[in-house]
Structure 1
Amino acid sequence: MTRLLRLLTLAAAVLAATAAAAHVRSESHSVWEINGRNVDLVMTLPSLETARLSRGGQPSDADLSRYLAERVHPLADGRRCALVPPVHALGARAGYRRFDLTFTCPDVRNLAIRTQAFFEVAPGHLDYAQVQNAQTGAFTEQLITRDRQTVQVTGGEADRLKAAGFLDFVRMGVVHILTGVDHMAFLVGLVLISRRLKDLLFAVTGFTLGHSLTLALAVTGVIRPQADFIDALVAQTIALIGLENIAVQAKRPAAVAAGLAVTLAAMLALKLAGVGALPVLLLLGAGLFGANYLLISGQVHDAVRLRLAITLVFGLIHGFGFAAGLLDEPLPPERLAELLFGFNVGVEVGQLTIVAAVWVLAWSLGRLKVAPPRPIVVDSSAAALVGVGVFWFVTRAI
């Protein structure tokens, strides 16, 4: 039990570092209010971000107003809405600057918002957009990134989700898991480390509990970590599953854990030298968690309770990854509970389909005696998981 508590404590440190990292990247905040044909925008910018535009100094209000007017605007039926001058510089607390822009659109039944600001100086920039329709009372929150600079807020996809049925939400979840190569790789790894059906049931249960929790927290806005950080941690979970198989088969968990620790220490050194995107605390936490996980799993003979706990932690990470699929959509707030439940059911259906298919295939080949010995299958599959997991982790980290 002491070992289990130690593992969970380290896992909590990793997740805390992930959440904290969400506030150290380039970001801005925009509030859009649709009132008839007028769209009012209040944009709040940290002074650290505006300084990027003038190489360390602060641009004037006039320069910043022109910059925003060129790059931030609504679109009606795909065409840019007209700006109503002037752009007003508003008062803001220390360390921030705020601007008010007003636009007139010919029609708001098919409206999108577009933000192109700061991506040329900070490719990882994020804009947290809140959209309020004063006439209907509808309210949505959207995450705008370099790869997703335009978001539909009325008509089109937004109306489709409002009219969607429960089964449509389930279908979204199934499609998400079946098209997520990294999530599928992790599920295959779960089958590999489960020698008995009982082990697999505990692993899947822990994974389900974990991702259900963080999926709900992320979509409702309680926690909104950086998507690229989560993608890197998802890759690490895949590598860890493969490394555990290697450590158990070779009966040298200490050597495998040391190799992981050295790798992450090297990445930490590169980060301190200015190379890499992951924060120092996240790299440190990931290294401590991974090394201790491998040491503990290599010393436990019947790891059912450990498997439930560790896959719950892995599920917490993957849940944030699942949420990214939903956050790319204009979510209707009045149907958020139904959407979350349906999407989660779909994820479970897709997840169980993959696990069951791999398990049945392995069992059938074993019964027919046409499969290679289990150690050969496990070793080769584990090596593949480590290779792809490390590749994804390093590329996503850098």
Structure 2
Amino acid sequence: MLKSLVKACAQKLFGFAFMVALAPALLASHELILSGIGLDSVHAHEKSQSFSKWRSTEKGIAVIFTVAARQVTLLPPTNPNAPSLERTLGQHLDNTITLSKPEAPCISSGFTPRKARPGFISMENYFMCPAEEAEDSDTVTIGIESFMDFAETHIHFAQFRNETGQYRGYLFNYDRRQDILSLEADGNMVAEDIGLVKTFFRYSQIGITHILSGIDHLVFLLGLLLLTNRFRDVVLVVTGFTIGHSLTLGLSAMKIVSTQSAIVEGLIGFTILVVAAEAVMARRNLMWLAGGVFALMLFFMGLYSIMLEAPMPINGWAGLMLFAVAYGFYSQNLNIVRQTLPIMVVIFGLVHGFGFAGVLVEAGLPNDRLLSALIGFNLGVEIGQLLIVAIIWFGFFRYMHSHFSEKLRGAITDFAGIAMCGVGMFWFASRLLI
């Protein structure tokens, strides 16, 4: 009797300690919300990407550059006393994007702000390149180094369209900062003769690159593996995640469904928080405590979001509160969590699919080869996902299950789960409240 009482008290104390461990992440988010200090060191470890769309016009070669607003916080402000993200980004782009012909550089009119969707900043510019009357065609060297000295994993997707709607895509990164664009005598872009197969492989590369650079998706996969102890469970988890994200990826890419990227990115942090909490709390039958405390946090975060005019509406916060309480009380132990895991992974996969779709839509899809591009991108995501799962499961988890004691495995799971819970909480709060 006394032993059971002591064990129960110890479990509850661990539960409260677990929730207290989330406080630094929440407080860090609050400090960032109020001051904006330290964002560069945090976001430098998130997926870093930007997009540009180019076309030939009477004014010259026009470009629209788009990037997430929080990504701009990596850059040093132009005026520390009165920081402006648009001004900071414009100056950075002026210094890091160049066009030139063999005989002379193209003249930039300077990047200026334009309307962008919530959570993003867009800038536009025109480049006037010297005419070459004697040639039937010409080439322009494009240099894009934006953000790459601040985030070595930064990826830039550039899309060039001509007057007939044909397009050409380029991928820039830390090691590849230049490319060549072919122009006709009238300055219009030379159409690229690309078939279904080449489109498929090009977008497969984009899919692989995106999943391997998306640390939030990788952390979520790691959290799922913490809840599995058999290879059969791993197969079910990966299959469920694939079904979920493939569905919303397709719907979003075909513009049947649209979402706000800021909300999607925040909810991805929420999915990480849930699976990490399950890995730690479900083994102690304390998911009810985690759900209740987190619902209380959500209540105050929702009130705070009203003052900030944050992207997620109040009914979204209310829905998450109900989910936290209901799922916390339903998931009484680890066996129940594992039984419902395939269903939950499909649901959470829907959220991650919207995140995958964001990069695909911004990178651009060829209307005449939409299906080939969509299948290629999704397959690329799957290849990257399976590669990561195989490395983690066969390289570490199998060894851990066969060589480590149950107590040591539990300690490792607790440590990883608490760390991931803090990361998930930070991403959830900062993405929805900043």
- Report TM bin, short chain: 0.5 to 0.7
Determine whether 1:350 maps to 2:384: yes
Match of 1:386 in 2: 421
Determine whether 1:287 maps to 2:321: yes
Instruction: Kindly indicate whether the alpha-carbon contact (under 8 Å) linking 2:298 and 2:321 is maintained by their aligned counterparts in 1.
Output: yes
Match of 2:114 in 1: 117
Q: In structure 2, what is the Cα distance between the partners aligned to 1:392 and 1:172?
A: 24
Per the alignment, in what secondary structure is the counterpart of residue 315 of structure 2? helix
Determine whether 1:235 maps to 2:273: no
2:258 aligned partner, one-letter code: R
Instruction: Kindly indicate whether the alpha-carbon contact (under 8 Å) linking 1:232 and 1:393 is maintained by their aligned counterparts in 2.
Output: yes
Deviation (angstroms), 1:284: 1.5
Superposed counterparts of 1:94-133, under 5 Å: 116-118=113-115
Q: In structure 2, what is the Cα distance between the partners aligned to 1:122 and 1:343?
A: 25
Match of 1:362 in 2: 397
Match of 1:222 in 2: 256
Q: TM-score, normalised by structure 2?
A: 0.56
Per the alignment, in what secondary structure is the counterpart of residue 114 of structure 2? coil
1:136 to 153, 156, 164: 164
Match of 2:92 in 1: none
Deviation (angstroms), 1:303: 4.7
Superposed counterparts of 1:149-298, under 5 Å: 159=192, 164-274=198-308, 276-298=310-332
Q: In structure 1, what is the Cα distance between the partners aligned to 2:280 and 2:328?
A: 10
Name stretches of at least 5 consecutive residues in structure 1 with no aligned partner: 1-31, 40-76, 80-113, 141-151
Q: 1:281 to 1:38 in 2, by over 3 A?
A: same
Q: In structure 1, what is the Cα distance between the partners aligned to 2:306 and 2:432?
A: 13
1:116 aligned partner, one-letter code: P
Q: TM-score, normalised by structure 1?
A: 0.61
Instruction: Kindly indicate whether the alpha-carbon contact (under 8 Å) linking 1:214 and 1:319 is maintained by their aligned counterparts in 2.
Output: yes
Deviation (angstroms), 1:137: 5.7
RMSD: 3.8
Count of paired positions: 280
Q: In structure 1, what is the Cα distance between the partners aligned to 2:57 and 2:114?
A: 26
Q: 1:161 to 1:393 in 2, by over 3 A?
A: farther
Instruction: Kindly indicate whether the alpha-carbon contact (under 8 Å) linking 1:161 and 1:331 is maintained by their aligned counterparts in 2.
Output: no
Residues 5-58 of structure 1, C-alpha deviation per residue, up to 9 Å, x if partnerless? xxxxxxxxxxxxxxxxxxxxxxxxxxx9x999699xxxxxxxxxxxxxxxxxxx
Instruction: Kindly indicate whether the alpha-carbon contact (under 8 Å) linking 1:253 and 1:294 is maintained by their aligned counterparts in 2.
Output: yes
Superposed counterparts of 1:368-379, under 5 Å: 368-369=403-404, 373-379=408-414
Superposed counterparts of 1:47-86, under 5 Å: none
Q: 1:383 to 1:135 in 2, by over 3 A?
A: closer
Per the alignment, in what secondary structure is the counterpart of residue 116 of structure 1? strand
Q: In structure 2, what is the Cα distance between the partners aligned to 1:225 and 1:271?
A: 19
2:259 aligned partner, one-letter code: P
2:274 aligned partner, one-letter code: L
Q: In structure 2, what is the Cα distance between the partners aligned to 1:307 and 1:122?
A: 33
Q: 1:355 to 1:295 in 2, by over 3 A?
A: farther
Q: 1:207 to 1:225 in 2, by over 3 A?
A: same
Per the alignment, in what secondary structure is the counterpart of residue 236 of structure 1? helix
Instruction: Kindly indicate whether the alpha-carbon contact (under 8 Å) linking 2:282 and 2:334 is maintained by their aligned counterparts in 1.
Output: no
Identity of aligned residues (%): 30
Instruction: Kindly indicate whether the alpha-carbon contact (under 8 Å) linking 1:247 and 1:298 is maintained by their aligned counterparts in 2.
Output: no
Deviation (angstroms), 1:249: 2.0
Bigger mean CA offset, 165-174 vs 203-212:
165-174
Deviation (angstroms), 1:287: 2.2
Match of 2:432 in 1: 397
Match of 1:331 in 2: 365
Per the alignment, in what secondary structure is the counterpart of residue 363 of structure 2? coil
Q: In structure 2, what is the Cα distance between the partners aligned to 1:334 and 1:392?
A: 37
Residues 257-298 of structure 1, C-alpha deviation per residue, up to 9 Å, x if partnerless? 101101101111212334643221221222222332232223
Q: In structure 2, what is the Cα distance between the partners aligned to 1:358 and 1:298?
A: 28
Instruction: Kindly indicate whether the alpha-carbon contact (under 8 Å) linking 2:167 and 2:192 is maintained by their aligned counterparts in 1.
Output: no
Instruction: Kindly indicate whether the alpha-carbon contact (under 8 Å) linking 1:158 and 1:330 is maintained by their aligned counterparts in 2.
Output: no
Instruction: Kindly indicate whether the alpha-carbon contact (under 8 Å) linking 2:200 and 2:372 is maintained by their aligned counterparts in 1.
Output: yes
Q: 1:256 to 1:177 in 2, by over 3 A?
A: same
Instruction: Kindly indicate whether the alpha-carbon contact (under 8 Å) linking 2:273 and 2:421 is maintained by their aligned counterparts in 1.
Output: yes
Name stretches of at least 5 consecutive residues in structure 2 with no aligned partner: 1-52, 61-97, 101-110, 124-158, 169-180
Deviation (angstroms), 1:122: 7.8
Instruction: Kindly indicate whether the alpha-carbon contact (under 8 Å) linking 1:257 and 1:294 is maintained by their aligned counterparts in 2.
Output: yes
Match of 2:340 in 1: 306
2:366 aligned partner, one-letter code: P
Q: 1:393 to 1:123 in 2, by over 3 A?
A: closer
Deviation (angstroms), 1:316: 0.3
Q: In structure 2, what is the Cα distance between the partners aligned to 1:391 and 1:351?
A: 23
